[in-house]
């Protein structure tokens, strides 16, 4: 390549080296910013999801508040109606109580007058007995008069008629006396029964009178409690109205916040997209500078990854020639999930071959420097069938541990993984943050070289190292 007249070859080399170093620094800073933006975008999306949930909950709360307000209003109206009915019932019960007291007093009066009535009946009985005795004596006198009239003959005939009339009157008087005696006896028996009933009723009436005061106090207590319920019901209505207004204010505020966060999220997403473009640009600058001869620490790594990619191509070619695998199987993309794996691992028809052939090529590279993190081949879709042994541990029940230690047989279709698998240039140098699992990230370079088998691009070999 022809150099400018004012620059010597050493000067051009120095400037290319400086450009390479600047591109490396730019890539690192850009990736770091991009990682921050990705994290920020993820947090924004979480906040948006949370705000959406809050908005949904606020809507539900508003509906619940409306229903509660309606219920409170109904309860307040019901308490008003209940208080009116209690007051009406209290008035009615008070009136009934007063009438019950009057009845009780009347019963007590009847009970008190019972002995006097019985005494009067006994006096009537005595008088009636005397009348019966007089009737009997009159009857005897009439009989004697009639006998004397018979003795007198014709002269006593008129006297005999009078004697018969007196005898008849005596008989009627005796019959009336007997009737009165029977009636008085029945009346006396009835009065005795009435007196006993009045005595029992009087005892109950006394209990009614004694309990009337308690009943009045109970009625007043009921009315007081219903009045308290009425007051609480109206207070609940006022509180529900205030809560409803507060929910409306909160819902409006949440909606505004959600709109602001969404605006921020859109801005972050746009910035993240531009940052990814900037990362691609910085990687292109770095790659171009190295290709033009810019010196960097990546030179030996580039040579190593290209050599290792060549060894893998030879191993795959030999496997096809020997019949170990068919060419179609080597390019299989029917990824079959491994049951129970978390994060998910998958198998293809060439996974067993890579498990046999790749460790001997990939493992020794890790001993070339402590800054080398891994060396592994991926197909065009980012599928990594056979990882380094330290990242190919048996699965456990802890998905976080698995994410860091069981990275074989997984598909890494992120930006870096896909670019490494689909790159067909002599090499591709990328700067990225590697997710180590458990929220741990490491700033790394990802150097890859394409793997081609029988003219078909199979994928690439990734060599990742810290810087």
Query: Domain of 77: which CATH number?
Result: 1.10.287.950
Range of the domain at 186: 63-251
Considering the chain, what is the average pLDDT of its residues? 80
- Confidence class for position 293, pLDDT limits 50, 70, 90: low
Query: Does 9 or 125 have the greater pLDDT score?
Result: 125
Question: Residue 288: inside a domain, yes or no?
Answer: no
Domain-embedded: residue 260: no
- The answer to the question of residue 147 being in a domain is yes
340 in a structural domain: yes
**Residue 162's pLDDT band (cuts 50, 70, 90):** confident
The verdict on 191 and 333 lying in the same domain is: no
Q: Is residue 311 part of a domain?
A: yes
Establish if 317 belongs to a structural domain: yes
Average pLDDT over residues 449-467: 96
Residue 295 has pLDDT above 60, yes or no: no
Boundary residue ending a domain (187, 219, 251): 251
Pair 341, 395: CB distance under 8 Å: yes
Higher-confidence residue: 275 or 325? 325
* 384/362 Cα distance (integer angstroms): 13
Question: Whole-prediction pTM value?
Answer: 0.52
- The number of folded domains in the chain is 2
Please tell me which residue, 406 or 58, carries the higher pLDDT value.
406
Q: Residue 456 sits in a domain of what CATH number?
A: 3.30.450.20
The pLDDT assigned to 3 comes to 45
386, 354 contact by CB (below 8 A): yes
Question: pLDDT per residue over 342-401, tens digit each?
Answer: 999 999 999 999 999 999 999 999 999 889 999 999 999 999 999 999 999 999 999 999
Kindly state the average pLDDT of the residues 416-436: 88
Task: Note the pLDDT of residue 125.
Answer: 72
308-355 per-position pLDDT tens digit: 999 999 999 999 999 999 999 999 999 999 999 999 999 999 999 999
What percentage of residues in the chain have a pLDDT greater than 90?
A: 31
Q: What is the mean pLDDT of residues 70-93?
A: 75
How large is the average pLDDT for residues 66-84?
Answer: 76
Does residue 2 surpass a pLDDT of 70?
Answer: no
Mean pLDDT throughout 162-181?
A: 74
What is the pLDDT at residue 206? 64
Query: How confident is residue 221, by pLDDT bands cut at 50, 70 and 90?
Result: confident
User: Are 418 and 364 contained in the same domain?
Assistant: yes
Tens digits of residue pLDDT in 230-267: 787 788 778 877 777 777 787 777 777 877 777 777 77
Q: Do residue 238 and residue 109 come from a single domain?
A: yes
Domain membership of residue 207 (yes or no) is yes
Report the 10 Å Cβ neighbour count for 328: 9
Name the phi and psi angles at 326, rounded to 5.
Answer: -85, 150
Share of the chain above pLDDT 70, in %: 76
Give the tokens for residue 265. 């999220």
- In SS3 terms, the chain reads as CCCCCCCCHHHHHHHHHHHHHHHHHHHHHHHHHHHHHHHHHHHHHHHHHHHHHHHHHHHHHHHHHHHHHHHHHHHHHHHHHHHHHHHHHHHHHHHHHHHHHHHHHHHHHHHHHHHHHHHHHHHHHHHHHHHHHHHHHHHHHHHHHHHHHHHHHHHHHHHHHHHHHHHHHHHHHHHHHHHHHHHHHHHHHHHHHHHHHHHHHHHHHHHHHHHHHHHHHHHHHHHHHHHHHHHHHHHHHHHHHHHHHHHHHHHHHHHHHHHHHHHHHHHHHHHHHHHHHHHHHHHHHHHHHHHCCCCCCCHHHHHHHHHHHHHHHHHHHHHHHCCCCCHHHHCCCCCEECCCCCCCCEECCCHHHHHHHCHHHHHHHHHHCCCEEEEEEEECCCEECCCCHHHECCCCCCHHHHHHHECCCEECCCHHHHHHHHCCCCCEEEEEEEEEECCEEEEEEEEEEEEEECCEEEEEEEEEEEC
Residue 236 or 456, more confident: 456
């Amino acid at each position: 390549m022809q150099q400018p007249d004012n620059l010597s070859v050493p000067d051009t080399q120095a400037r290319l080296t400086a450009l390479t170093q600047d591109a490396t620094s730019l890539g690192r800073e850009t990736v770091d910013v991009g990682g921050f933006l990705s994290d920020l975008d993820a947090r924004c999306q979480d906040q948006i999801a949370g705000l959406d949930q809050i908005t949904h909950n606020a809507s539900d709360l508003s509906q619940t508040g409306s229903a509660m307000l309606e219920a409170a209003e109904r309860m307040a109206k019901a308490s008003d109606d209940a208080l009116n009915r209690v007051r009406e019932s209290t008035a009615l019960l008070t009136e009934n109580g007063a009438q019950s007291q009057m009845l009780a007093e009347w019963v007590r009066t009847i009970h008190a007058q019972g002995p006097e009535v019985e005494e009067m009946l006994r006096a009537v009985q005595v008088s009636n007995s005397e009348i019966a005795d007089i009737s009997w004596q009159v009857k005897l006198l009439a009989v004697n008069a009639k006998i004397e009239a018979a003795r007198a003959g014709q002269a006593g005939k008129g006297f005999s008629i009078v004697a018969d009339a007196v005898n008849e009157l005596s008989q009627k008087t005796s019959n009336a006396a007997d009737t009165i005696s029977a009636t008085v006896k029945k009346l006396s028996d009835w009065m005795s029964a009435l007196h006993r009933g009045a005595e029992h009723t009087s005892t109950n009436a006394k209990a009614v009178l004694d309990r009337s005061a308690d009943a009045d106090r109970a009625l007043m207590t009921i009315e007081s409690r219903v009045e308290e319920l009425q007051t609480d019901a109206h207070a609940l209505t006022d509180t529900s109205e205030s809560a409803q207004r507060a929910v409306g204010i909160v819902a409006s505020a949440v909606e505004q916040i959600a709109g602001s966060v969404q605006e921020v999220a859109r801005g972050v997403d746009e910035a993240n997209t531009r940052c990814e473009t900037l990362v691609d640009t910085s990687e292109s600058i770095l790659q171009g500078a190295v290709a033009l001869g810019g010196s960097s620490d990546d030179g030996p790594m580039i040579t190593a990854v290209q050599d290792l990619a060549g060894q893998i191509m030879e191993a795959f070619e030999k496997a096809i020639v020997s019949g170990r695998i068919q060419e179609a199987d080597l390019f299989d993309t029917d990824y079959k999930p491994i049951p129970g794996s978390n994060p998910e691992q998958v198998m293809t028809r060439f996974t067993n071959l890579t498990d046999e052939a790749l460790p001997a090529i990939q493992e020794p590279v890790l001993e070339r420097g402590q800054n080398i993190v891994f060396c592994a081949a991926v197909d065009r879709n980012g599928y990594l069938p056979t990882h380094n042994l330290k990242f190919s541990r048996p699965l456990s029940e802890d998905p976080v541990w698995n994410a860091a230690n069981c990275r074989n047989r997984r598909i890494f279709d992120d930006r870096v993984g896909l670019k490494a698998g689909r790159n067909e240039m002599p090499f591709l140098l990328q700067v990225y943050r590697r997710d180590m699992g458990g929220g741990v990230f490491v700033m790394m370079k990802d150097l890859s070289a394409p793997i081609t088998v029988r003219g078909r691009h199979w994928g690439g070999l990734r060599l990742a190292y810290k810087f």
